[in-house]
Structure 1
Amino acid sequence: MASDQPVTVYPPDESGGRRVRADGAILGLAYSVQDIARLMQEAGLHHWDEMDVVRSPLIEWRGGGPDVWTH
Structure 2
Amino acid sequence: MAWQAPIVVFPPKAGEGRRVAVRGVPLGTANSDRELVEFLRRAGLNEADAALDDPHLVEWRGGPAHQW
Identify whether the pair has TM-score above 0.5, normalized to the shorter chain.
Answer: yes
Contact 1:33 1:66 in 2 (8 A): no
Give the AA of the match of 1:22: V
| C-alpha distance 68-16 of structure 1, shift in aligned 2 (>3 A) | farther
Q: Does 1:8 align with 2:8?
A: yes
Q: What CA distance in whole angstroms lies between the structure 2 residues aligned with 1:19 and 1:39? A: 11
CA RMSD, 1 decimal? 1.7
What's the TM-score once normalised by structure 2's chain length?
0.79
Shift of 1:37: 0.7
Q: What CA distance in whole angstroms lies between the structure 2 residues aligned with 1:40 and 1:62? A: 17
Q: What CA distance in whole angstroms lies between the structure 1 residues aligned with 2:52 and 2:59? A: 10
Paired residues, number: 66
What's the TM-score once normalised by structure 1's chain length?
0.76
Identical positions, percent: 36
Displaced runs of 4+ in structure 1, greater than 6 A?
A: none
Contact 1:19 1:30 in 2 (8 A): yes
Where do 5+ consecutive residues of structure 1 fail to align? Answer: none
